[in-house]
């Protein structure tokens, strides 16, 4: 099949493109003009344009059988037009319109664990709105809602990588509340394989994607410190203090957390049904591990990331 991919140069996108090529598909990647990470491989075609650029999308999808839509953000930059409404909702609407016009036969859409209409965070609400667009498009589809993603991926914002930089450089690591927020990290290789399987056979359903381990935020920090060979020294920051400080400082690009991220962290990120995807898509569970190679200083390029 010929597969059009948005977000193909990012943390999840790079291993997804690799997996699609290994499975024998022709891949076309949408690439932003002036991208700092241009596609440089002869076995992948590319089309230049923004994810809301209808002309570029229609051009790129010409002759394609499937679309894999991975674009998503965890932080807004309104002055640059980077908002969750635009990147999650408007972009999905544009992608679906182009897919319908091109006669695409299936769509694989990346959402997020916790997406729901009544969510506190705009991240989860806009992810849900994008899901609703996919469901109402009339196209055969599969939606994935991953928890925290770990493993060797492409460049992009990395959850474990950012924590590793913090553990490596800070004399003490701030921990919000008691740090016992539950997460269910899923390997990027699992996510990529799930997407390949969904390209082969759309399911008209949404799957949660989590790994076999439910682990606390504090335990993740401990494992990162062990991989770095450093002692973990923490300081507890009361939740009420963070709720007051974050709204004042989140607009600073260097400030590491936003209100949405704080809300999502406090909620935890655990699947209600992690087994369905493994059973239906024949996936192998990969336990959460943090190795020295994954936490070496590399700008967070090879660790784990939020989707």
Cα dihedral sign, 161-165-170-171: positive
- Over residues 231-262, the pLDDT tens digits come to 999 999 999 999 998 888 887 776 778 888 88
Q: How far apart are alpha carbons 80 and 4 in whole angstroms?
A: 26
Q: How far apart are alpha carbons 235 and 249 in whole angstroms?
A: 20
Query: Which domains are delineated in the chain?
Result: 2-147+187-209+272-283 (3.40.50.720)
- Over residues 116-173, the pLDDT tens digits come to 999 999 999 999 999 999 999 999 999 999 999 998 888 765 678 878 888 988 899 9
**Residue carrying structure tokens 């408007």:** 90
Q: How far apart are alpha carbons 224 and 216 in whole angstroms?
A: 13
Across the range 214-222, mean pLDDT stands at 95
């Amino acid at each position: 099949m010929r597969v059009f991919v948005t977000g193909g140069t990012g943390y999840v996108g790079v291993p997804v493109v690799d997996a699609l090529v290994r499975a024998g598909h022709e891949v076309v990647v949408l690439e932003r003009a002036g991208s700092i990470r241009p596609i440089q491989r002869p076995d992948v075609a590319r089309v230049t344009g923004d994810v809301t650029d209808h002309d570029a999308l229609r051009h790129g999808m010409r002759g394609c059988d499937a679309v894999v839509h991975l674009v998503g953000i965890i932080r807004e930059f309104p002055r640059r037009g980077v908002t969750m409404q635009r990147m999650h909702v408007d972009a999905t609407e544009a992608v679906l319109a182009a897919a319908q016009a091109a006669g695409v036969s299936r769509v694989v859409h990346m959402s997020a664990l916790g997406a729901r209409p009544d969510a506190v965070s705009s991240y989860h609400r806009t992810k849900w709105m994008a899901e609703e667009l996919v469901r109402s498009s009339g196209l055969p589809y599969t939606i994935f809602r991953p928890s925290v993603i770990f493993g060797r991926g492409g460049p992009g914002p990395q959850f474990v990588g950012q924590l590793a930089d913090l553990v490596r450089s800070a004399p003490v690591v701030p921990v919000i509340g008691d740090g016992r927020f539950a997460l269910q990290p899923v390997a990027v290789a699992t996510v990529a394989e799930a997407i390949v399987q969904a390209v082969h056979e759309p399911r008209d359903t949404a799957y949660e994607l989590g790994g076999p381990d439910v682990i606390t935020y504090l335990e993740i920090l401990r494992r990162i410190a062990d991989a770095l060979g450093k002692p973990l020294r923490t300081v507890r920051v009361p939740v009420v203090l963070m709720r007051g400080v974050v709204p004042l400082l989140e607009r600073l690009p260097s400030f590491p957390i936003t209100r949405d991220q704080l809300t999502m962290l406090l909620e935890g990120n655990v699947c209600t049904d992690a087994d369905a995807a493994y059973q239906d898509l024949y996936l192998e569970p990969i336990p959460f591990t943090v190795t020295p190679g994954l936490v070496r200083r590399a700008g967070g390029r090879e660790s784990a990331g939020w989707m």
